[in-house]
Amino acid sequence: MESAPRYSQQRPSGTAGAAMPAGRGSRHRRARPVGLTHIVVGAFGVLAVLLVIGLAIREPVGDKPYLKIAGAGFIFNYRVAEVFYGFTAEVQKPVRNLSLIEAEFEDPAGGPQIRVSERLNPRTKRYSLRTPPVRGVQKDRPYKVTVRLIQNGDNAVLFEEELAVRSQMADDVVPEQPLTVGPGYRRNPALAKDTPAPQ
């Protein structure tokens, strides 16, 4: 049985090595080199878009209060038998140096309000004010704090806000006398011998 003849594909004579017409057979074009000018223009375009977005979402400085209360709460120091409470405030707008942050804290023991103040300085925009040690703290009871920013020079009140600070526990968990004394946290010699040592 004869096998079918095999044919090899051959180019017609005279066409070997002939160049293809320009623009027809070539699908790929050379990429243009990206110059420094294109990079600079593109970078400025991206920066312009980011600037527009930033301006759209930015809160105007004039709409911000002078102070922002960043947090408040009670601190229980069991070792030294102290309880105090306070808050942290951040300055959000330009204000004269040596202006005064003044706070009036309600006394948990029922005494007169506890007044604490601190002068502003150019080194920081974050300030923490707290009471001296207090007693009589009750769980979940709101204690009133009034915060003011008083401008240096004319004593204008630039900011005033009231907040309520609650404790998650009563101060009866704190001993009447400190368990330790001194910088080395030595055991308080005034305590009875059967008092457990701090861990």
Model confidence pLDDT, tens digit, residues 112-167: 999 999 999 999 999 999 999 999 999 999 999 999 999 999 999 999 999 999 99
Q: What is the pLDDT of residues 95-114, one digit of tens each?
A: 999 999 999 999 999 999 99
- Of 159, 155, 156, 163, whose CA–CA distance to 93 is shortest? 159
- To the question of pTM greater than 0.75 for the whole model, the response is no
Contact 162, 145 (CB under 8 A): yes
Please give the DSSP secondary-structure letter assigned to residue 139.
Answer: B
d(CA 99, CA 121) in angstroms, rounded, equals: 8
128's enclosing H/E stretch is strand 126-130
Contact 93, 61 (CB under 8 A): yes
Q: What is the CATH number of domain 65-182?
A: 2.60.40.10
Residue 34 in this model has a pLDDT that exceeds 80: no
Q: What is the distance between the alpha carbons of residues 118 and 66, in angstroms, rounded to a whole number?
A: 15
Answer positive or negative: Cα dihedral of 91, 92, 98, 101: negative
Q: Could you tell me the pLDDT band of residue 5, with boundaries at 50, 70 and 90? A: very low
Question: Going edge to edge, which strands form the sheet with 67-77?
Answer: 67-77, 82-91, 126-130
Q: Which residue has the tokens 């959000």?
A: 92
Q: First vs last Cα of the chain: how many Å apart?
A: 103
